[in-house]
Amino acid sequence: MRWLYVVLLTAGCSFTFDGAAPEIVLSGYPTDTTRLPRLNHAPVHSDYYVLGADSQWWLTLEERRGNQHIWHSVSLFPPGKEQEIVYNPDTDRSSVHAFYRVETIPGLGTPAYPGKTLLRLQTAGAAPEEAFEFPLGPAHLATGPWDNLFVYWVKDPKTKTFEIVRRDRSYRRTIPIPEGIDPEVPGLLLFSSNGQILFTRDKSGHLVKHYTDREVDIDLGIHKGQLMFDESRKVFYTFGHDGIHRTKLDGTGEIVLDPTPDPAYVSSYEDRFYYFIGRELRRVLPDGSEQPQVVSDGGITRLLGFAPDGQLMYSTVAANHYVHNSGDGWIGAWRFMERGRSPGFSVDRKRLRWLEHTAQHDGVGDLMQADLPRGDPVRLARNVYGWTEINDRRLLVVDNAAYFGTQNRIIAIDPDARTARWVANSAWHFSLLTATEMLVDLVTDTAGYDVVRMTIPPP
Amino acid sequence: MFHRLIALAALTALPALADPVPGRLVGRVFERGSVSPIAGATLSSTGSEVAITDDNGHFELSLSPGPHEILIADERHEPMRATEQIRSGEGITVEYRLVPLPAYRRRYQTIVHGESRHEGARFSLRNEELHQTPGTLGDPFRAVALLPGVTQPMPLLPLYVVRGASPGMSGFFLDGMRIPALFHFLIGGGVIHPRLIDRLDFYPGSYDASFGHFAGGIIDAATRPARSDAPLHGEAQLSLYDLSALAEVRLPGNVRIAASGHYGYPGPLIHLIDPSVDINYWDYQLRMDWRSLTLEALGSFDSTVADLSNYQSLGRSGNVAGEYRVAFHRLQLRHRPHWRHVDLDTALVGGVDEMAVLGGFGVRKLALSARAHARFHLGGWQALRLDDLTLSAGIDAELSRFRGSNFPLPDVIGEAPDQLGELSGDRDGLSGGLYLQATGEFFHRRLTTTLGVRADVYHVGQVTLLGIDPRTTLRIKLMKGLALTGGFGLYQQPPSFPVALPGIDTYALQLGLQRAWQGASGVEAALPADLTLAATGFFARFANINDAVIDFTPTVCTSPPPESLSGLPAIVTRQVAGDSFGMELLLRRHTGRLTGWIAYTLSRSERVFSCGLRPADFDQTHVLNIVAQVRLPWNLMAGARLLVQTGRPYTQVSLDELPDNTPLRNNQRLPTYVQLDLRLDREWVFKAWAIAAFIEVLNTTYSRSILAVTYPTTMIDTANITRYDLPVPVGPQWILPALGIRGRF
């Protein structure tokens, strides 16, 4: 009858024998984010950093209260200052150092009273500035570096010119729309890094540089294809039907780096351009001192980066084969990734990390790690949306994020100690403020999210 | 019989030696509209002997010369009278065809059907209930939806919730085999030819230990062997959207073969509901019987092609394969020997399952299983008032191999194979079960009780699950026509996809076993006018069950997905606890011109969400099914089915709700759903064949079947905001006519 006793003792039970227990065990308790003060006053739809009038970084939260849309800016260094600006999402826009608000003054529809648009700039933490006047109508706004100047282009079939305006009102000039460009679809409008020059290109490929502080325009000649500027060398490159060309910024000294048609730029590494021509991966020095070299004649479909030892990190799968650019990953003959994305190296360049099996609609995957070279992959976390290595070498990870929801959380993984600590629950995004502080987006409401500032727990 | 005939002939011949020599009446008796001979029919004439037909319907009667009125009678057929002119010393050969009685008029069921070997409260469907119940399109499996304890949260879809459990917790058995699905998509009906189904038992819960691997209700169907009364039987049915056929052959050596199948072409009908969807399906069954051996092969295929132009938003472009496809095939060799005190049922089964989701990725499963069940009849022990004791034992095991597959597709870019998550991983699985059970009948069989325990084990990779389930059932006959029933036990199941699909089992074992403690008690009473009444109360406590998500409001009182799942399983699966309780009433009439039933279920199914215990997404408080069939003159039968059920819950929130004032999940309900189905059958019976026609219209009320509640997305500022304050029910208003003819011989 012993068997009967055994049956009776174990009846009504279930047992799980799991030899595949997680390599890293999550411990600790999450910070009670419900007790942290919210930076927002209403559910947030979007947030971004802006440079305030005090030359410090602020955070602007796009909130909606009733029918009002509000730019709610809060100072971060030091915290405590706030500013709210009501805006019109259909016409107004924000940039890193200015909010652009549009006010329409309707006219009578006659040449004498055509109406006008008032464009008013304002920096976070400062009062609104004096408005600029422009013709009536929807416009394209291209902002220059640090919002020190901008292009205002009225999108109207009758438009013949556009304006370059310096914010400090020191200069304002009008430039004809490049020949052949549809006034309703502005073409290339590219500022130099100091804002002194604006590049435009007409339909035939004439590249023109316009000075933004004087009435000088220089035709650089016809340069079609993909453009790349190197202001440190005072040159620009084109990748087009006629191959790769290098030209000085004054339009002289054009040389051909590779005459083969239709190169597709991929990356630069150790001062060389890497580019595809068809299925062939090539590289060339941008000064033209060497002939182009064939790196791969077809096995490499995508270049993912370069390993610390200089080897190519690549994929044999096209970026659009799977969703979210997922694909395999190789370093030399080592296939470290089956079908993932975002491979990257640790700060000490001794480890490789990536998201595995991300060919799913939300692009999440398992956070994997392998020691270099050719270490065995170890899974650090599942359903990871993003991660960052912080100063103490731990990884801040958004995991449990198979889809957007309250189950999303932030954990801190110590890859050396193989431990993980719970940081914040209901959190789907973070951004580091300092080595010890971060902003965390919390999934708390159906109409948006909350933003809190919290300290990164120590190890 | 020969001696009786001699004696009768002698008795009648002695007084009249001068009478002419008698003549002989020789012939066969068949069922009208069929080639089936009738065995055991009696033929008699006034003042003459009586003959009884043999197994082939043959008879021989010796009659005096002259006219005779012959009475041909059989308990399952209308009696028939025929006048025959008998000549002296001559014989005539005749053939009589009797019209079968409708099932409700048969006093005795002389065909012995396979009986269930399982204990527990169940609803059994047979005969016309299997094939002509209104609201089922003639499909036996759909009749389950009309029974107590069953809710159909999305009318039109064959998705059944049994006593508040998750749909994926219900098990389907056919001739002892586990099969992954009973239904084709949408209106496709069952995957087995209805006329091959001999019996369908539905166990809503609290059944005995002989059923394993499922924690919810059980649908247990049995097919029948080919009829042996004629060399060939056949039938074919043509309806608006499918063609089906069944052939039964008797070979020498009493080898019997039945072959059947469907081919569906519901495209034009489906396009009336949704022009962007196309559906194809087919199935086949082959059954061969010889003595106690049965060889069965069956399979099913379904394909749904949808216009996926909206999938561009998922990052896809170019050709997108919009086909969702499931298929399964089974081959079973079964041996059921019987000795004096022992019944044995053994089987070996091989199977292939396939499922491919949109995008062409899927899973293929190969499985080989074996099982054996034995019943030992040990007799009684009067000292304990034990009239009969039966011991049952069974064992089953399955080896399975799952492979993630990339089924052939045209050029596809933007594929998302990882969306299948754990479903697509390669794995080898082992599952097995063992049960022991004793059934005792006490006190002159007034008390029948079953006590059993089963153990099930599942192993994949490095994970092994073991569950031990004790169960008991009870039946007490208080008096003639009044009985009490009850049952209680633990029912455990490995992790399951929320909806049963081919190729998806023995996966994600790390989630642990799903558990359901189930208890039920009821009363069964025979009432006047051939009515029976059954009332049952039930309770179930669920733990760790894999519930389906049909309400995707993600931030409001939710339940998190299992952390160890990814992709689609993580999105649609919740690992939750909960309760379910309620009451079922069934008033039923089997006999008479008017038959049918009234089934009413009052229930509450709850789940533990982050804001507490709330109604489950599938909860429907009231479900009323009224099924009525009436036999009319001219072989007409008319039927109607009325369904009234509470709408299932959904969540509506306000955009202005503060986090601390989060509304409760499932705080609203969809409108009450009413559906009226009508059916009319008519059969014309000819000499050796018959033809029948039916017309059935489902949902004559043109009610809307709400498949889902969606929440629109609007651009507010620069962000897309899901408007949980503006729920939009999604689903078609539909009406489904079915018209068909069936010929048989």
Q: How many CB pairs under 8 A join A and B?
A: 171
The confidence band for A370, taking pLDDT boundaries of 50, 70 and 90, is very high
Q: Does B468 touch chain A (CB under 8 A)?
A: yes
Of A11, A16, A382, the CB nearest to B512: A16
Find the closest chain A residue to B453 by CA distance: A11
Taking the C-alpha atoms of residue A113 and residue A134, their distance in angstroms, rounded to an integer, is 13
Task: Look at phi and psi of residue B135 and say left if phi exceeds 0, alpha if psi is from -120 to 50, else beta.
Answer: left
Question: In B, which residues are within 8 Å of A366 by CB distance?
Answer: 566
Q: Does A448 touch chain B (CB under 8 A)?
A: yes
Find the closest chain B residue to A86 by CA distance: B717
- Residue B39 has which token pair? 């065995």
Find the closest chain A residue to B460 by CA distance: A18
Shortest Cα distance, chain B CAs vs residue A201, angstroms: 30
Looking at residue A411, its pLDDT comes to 95
Whether the link from the prior residue into B153 is cis, omega within 30° of 0, is no
List phi, psi (to 5°) of B424.
-95, -5
- Using the beta-carbon criterion (under 8 Å), do B570 and A10 form an inter-chain contact? no
pLDDT at A86 over 90: yes
Query: DSSP letters of A407-458?
Result: T-EEEEEETTTTEEEEEEESEEEEEESSSSEEEEEEEEETTEEEEEEEEPPP
CA distances from B227 to A389, B37, B195 (A): 74, 11, 12
Interface of B with A in 432-461 (CB under 8 A): 453, 461
Quickly count: other Cβ atoms within 10 Å of residue B276's Cβ.
13
Taking the C-alpha atoms of residue B161 and residue B204, their distance in angstroms, rounded to an integer, is 10
Find the closest chain A residue to B558 by CA distance: A406
Mean pLDDT of A313-334: 92
The superfamily (CATH) of domain B123-744 is TonB-dependent receptor, beta-barrel domain (2.40.170.20)
Q: Does A383 touch chain B (CB under 8 A)?
A: yes
**E strands, A155-306, in order:** 161-166, 172-176, 190-191, 197-201, 206-211, 217-222, 226-230, 235-240, 243-248, 255-258, 264-269, 272-277, 280-284, 293-296, 302-306
Q: Does B722 touch chain A (CB under 8 A)?
A: yes
Query: Helix (H, G, I), strand (E, B), or coil: what is residue B568?
Result: helix
- Using the beta-carbon criterion (under 8 Å), do B555 and A358 form an inter-chain contact? no
Shortest Cα distance, chain A CAs vs residue B487, angstroms: 15
**Maximal CA-CA distance, chain A:** 109
A interface mutation test: which of B555, B559, B564, B709 has the most A CBs within 10 A? B555
Mean pLDDT of A93-97: 95
Question: In B, which residues are within 8 Å of A446 by CB distance?
Answer: 553, 555-556, 653, 655, 657, 722, 724-725
Residues in chain B where the model's pLDDT stays below 50: 1-17, 107-114, 310-321, 657-659
**Which element (helix H / strand E) includes B256?**
strand B255-264
- Using the beta-carbon criterion (under 8 Å), do A382 and B566 form an inter-chain contact? yes
**E strands, A39-107, in order:** 44-51, 57-65, 68-76, 79-87, 93-94, 99-106
Looking at residue B320, its pLDDT comes to 47
Least confident of A12-16, A301-305, B514-518, B590-594: A12-16
Interface of A with B in 406-435 (CB under 8 A): 406-407
Strand partners, B694: B681, B740
**Which element (helix H / strand E) includes B272?**
helix B267-273
Q: Does A19 touch chain B (CB under 8 A)?
A: yes
Looking at residue B17, its pLDDT comes to 47
Quickly count: other Cβ atoms within 10 Å of residue A431's Cβ.
14
CA distances from B7 to B51, B66, B656, B699 (A): 14, 22, 100, 65
Bridge pairing between strands A197-201 and A206-211: antiparallel
B2-101 carries CATH number 2.60.40.1120: yes
**Predicted confidence (pLDDT) per residue in B685-735, tens digit:** 888 889 999 999 999 999 998 888 887 877 655 556 667 778 888 888 889
List phi, psi (to 5°) of B244.
-135, 155
Q: Does B462 touch chain A (CB under 8 A)?
A: yes
**Predicted confidence (pLDDT) per residue in A175-195, tens digit:** 999 999 999 999 899 999 999
- CB A14 within 8 Å of CB B512: yes
Looking at residue B270, its pLDDT comes to 75
Interface of A with B in 340-379 (CB under 8 A): 357-361, 364-366
- Using the beta-carbon criterion (under 8 Å), do B555 and A45 form an inter-chain contact? no
Strand partners, B342: B376
- Using the beta-carbon criterion (under 8 Å), do B560 and A405 form an inter-chain contact? yes
- CB A73 within 8 Å of CB A87: no
**Predicted confidence (pLDDT) per residue in A217-233, tens digit:** 999 999 999 999 999 99
Taking the C-alpha atoms of residue A408 and residue A396, their distance in angstroms, rounded to an integer, is 13
Q: What is the DSSP letter of B5?
A: H
- CB B626 within 8 Å of CB B608: no
- Using the beta-carbon criterion (under 8 Å), do B565 and A17 form an inter-chain contact? no
Taking the C-alpha atoms of residue A22 and residue A378, their distance in angstroms, rounded to an integer, is 10
Looking at residue B9, its pLDDT comes to 44
Strand partners, A437: A455
Q: Give yes or no on whether B2-101 and B123-744 have one common fold.
A: no
Taking the C-alpha atoms of residue A47 and residue A63, their distance in angstroms, rounded to an integer, is 9
Question: In B, which residues are within 8 Å of A15 by CB distance?
Answer: 465-467
Question: In A, which residues are within 8 Å of B509 by CB distance?
Answer: 16, 18
Question: In what side-by-side order are the strands of the sheet with A139-143?
Answer: A139-143, A149-154, A161-166, A172-176
Of chain A, the percentage scoring pLDDT greater than 70 comes to 96
- Using the beta-carbon criterion (under 8 Å), do B724 and A407 form an inter-chain contact? no
**Predicted ipTM of the assembly:** 0.83
A interface mutation test: which of B436, B573, B717 has the most A CBs within 10 A? B717
Q: Does A450 touch chain B (CB under 8 A)?
A: yes
B interface mutation test: which of A301, A323, A356, A358 has the most B CBs within 10 A? A323
Of A46, A69, A321, the CB nearest to B415: A321
Strand partners, B180: none
**Which element (helix H / strand E) includes B268?**
helix B267-273
Q: Does A88 touch chain B (CB under 8 A)?
A: no
- CB B493 within 8 Å of CB B213: yes
Whether the link from the prior residue into B22 is cis, omega within 30° of 0, is no
B interface mutation test: which of A360, A383, A404 has the most B CBs within 10 A? A360
Q: Does A322 touch chain B (CB under 8 A)?
A: yes
Q: Does A321 touch chain B (CB under 8 A)?
A: yes
Of A11, A16, A18, the CB nearest to B468: A11
CA distances from B456 to A99, B181, B495, B544 (A): 66, 22, 13, 17
Name the residue with tokens 């082992």: B430
Residue B572's Cα: distance from chain center in Å? 26
Looking at residue B659, its pLDDT comes to 47
How do the domains of chain B map onto residue ranges?
A: 2-101, 123-744
Find the closest chain A residue to B413 by CA distance: A321
Q: What is the mean pLDDT of chain A?
A: 91
